[in-house]
Chains A and B, each alone.
Chain A
Amino acid sequence: MGKQTIIPFGPQHPVLPEPLHLDLVLEDERIVDAIPSIGYVHRGLELLVSKKEYAEYVYVAERICGICSFMHGLGYCQAVEEIMEIQVPERALFLRTIWAELSRIHSHLMWFGLAADAFGLENLFMLSWRLRESVLDIIEETSGGRVIFGACKIGGVRRDISPETLRDMCQKLEKLKGHMDRLTGVFLNDRSVGYRLKGIGVLTREDAQRLGAVGPLLRASGVDMDMRRLGYAAYERLSFEPVTENDGDCYARCAVRARELYQSIDLIAQAVSMMPDGEVDTKVLGAPKGECFMRLEQPRGEVLYYVRADGTRYIERFRVRTPTFTNIPSMIHCLKGCDFSDVPNVILTIDPCISCIER
């Protein structure tokens, strides 16, 4: 038993592109406690609802986070539509599903790159980001933006995708599958990757449930929970099974995300084959009055929106509980007992999104 040392980690750190600060309490090389402190990215977005009209707030909601941008816009729109009881056209629901799954693919591929960078394989970082570019091209072709989609609005979506583009997109994604096979093959089968991931940062099923973990972190611990089961957008008409793994270590989280990539491509193919014709938006009149909770499954897990409106053009209270925020207790739990050199690994496997946490 050595004496305790405190090592500060961040906010500017080569491994984390985002500012997160951790005070790590070490005994020799083993971590006994981790104290996160946040607030470097805090902007106070939730208070902006009193300054922007409810229809313009969609653009702010999309900029809560640049990685899950479409999901935030979608969640806000769905919450307002729920309050105003707007029937969104069928085609718009399917288009939303397609964009949501595209953003999941791009987010997971990005995570693969960052994780590879964290455990020191820059080669894999480059390869996964190269694959990600082809997904970003599809996103840009259909929605107009690379990371900020700007495709969702209250009452539907802002632009349609033509049938030819949809067919093209499916072919491109099929081709992408072949490349992904090779990439995920390295992540799941390579010996040196296995050394860095297997048995590190274990989160048991009980701990995960007790600490309120969500998303791939929870599913890697063997709990079958996926908010897409709620059947928002077009998910009730698509068939899928949540991906689960039982080990709960870094490797299991990697495997969950690898299998979710294929699941997303499959869901897009299903949505394209079932796509109905028709309008993509409805006219929205009046202002919302009431309150509601809305939950979605983001690439990082369950997200919850709370909107309370009082019948004016400005919403009274908007609250978003993001997946990374509720994964902080699990992250601290995983860090305890790790080696100091595994810290970036463990932090990255929960897929932290700091601008989501602090809004």
Chain B
Amino acid sequence: MSFIAKSPWILHYDGSSCNGCDIETLACLTPVYDIERFGVINTGNPKHADILIVTGSVNHQNRDVLLNIYNQMPDPKAVIAVGICAITGGIFAECYNVLGGVDKVLPVDIYVPGCAARPEAIIDGIVKAIGILEMKHQNMRIKSKWRLRWPWKSELKFSY
């Protein structure tokens, strides 16, 4: 992570969580943890967001909402699964209406464990996501350069 990194904006979507990780994510934005130090602002609009924070597991009802939000976000984007429910379904994994973790629907970049995830862990996750965003951004730049020079090689994969 460099000092001239862009300020990533986050979008928070609450899956079927118990509100625990939810209010901890909000607590990150308040003076005591103050994630705006890293240039992070909570936004309500998916088109403005770089990082999607999902708390809680995915169920049949909100799967489409989640996909909808994710597809609206511009590239490069990162997804953070906050809390045990968002990672594996946790204590609700056996419920009939729960599909499981977020990674069943979206490609998750960072897993933040904890029940409820502590704000320090969430800050850790967001800082890591900023690094990943930067790498994805560089990949995109290299890709577009290659595409100009060797259009037939445009499907070359760059992994981070």
Contact = CB atoms under 8 A, between A and B. Distances in A.
A12 B20 contact: no
A44 B16 CA distance: 11
Contacts of B96: 44, 47
A69 B56 contact: no
Given A43-B97, A43-B98, A48-B94, A11 B65 contact: yes
A66 B94 contact: no
B154 interface: no
5 contacts: A41-B15, A45-B92, A48-B94, A48-B95, A132-B27
A129 B30 contact: yes
Interface residues of B, number: 37
A129 B20 contact: no
A148 B61 CA distance: 26
B126 interface: no
A249 B42 CA distance: 30
B88 interface: no
Interface in A15-70: 17-19, 39-45, 47-48, 51, 59-60, 63-67, 69
Shortest beta-carbon contacts, A-B, top 4: A66-B20, A14-B44, A129-B30, A66-B19
B106 to A, nearest CB: 15
A238 interface: no
Contact of B31 (A39, A66, A126, A147): A126
A144 to B, nearest CB: 12
A125 B32 CA distance: 12
A157 interface: no
Contacts of B24: 146-147
Contact of B21 (A48, A66, A126, A353): A66
B117 to A, nearest CB: 10
Contacts of B118: 146
Most chain A CB within 10 A, of B13, B23, B27, B61, is at B23
Contacts of A349: none
A69 B16 contact: no
A65 B17 CA distance: 8
A40 B19 CA distance: 13
Interface of A: 11-14, 17-19, 39-45, 47-48, 51, 59-60, 63-67, 69, 110, 113, 125-127, 129-130, 132-133, 145-148, 353-355, 358
A178 to B, nearest CB: 18
A156 B160 CA distance: 51
B26 A17 contact: yes
B148 interface: no
Contacts of A41: 14-17, 56, 59, 62
B115 A12 contact: no
A148 B116 contact: yes
Contact of A130 (B13, B22, B32): B32
A17 B12 contact: yes
A78 to B, nearest CB: 20
A67 B19 contact: yes
Contacts of B56: 41
Contacts of B19: 18, 65-67, 353-355
Interface in B88-108: 91-92, 94-98
Nearest to A67: B19
Given A67-B19, A130-B32, A18 B61 contact: no
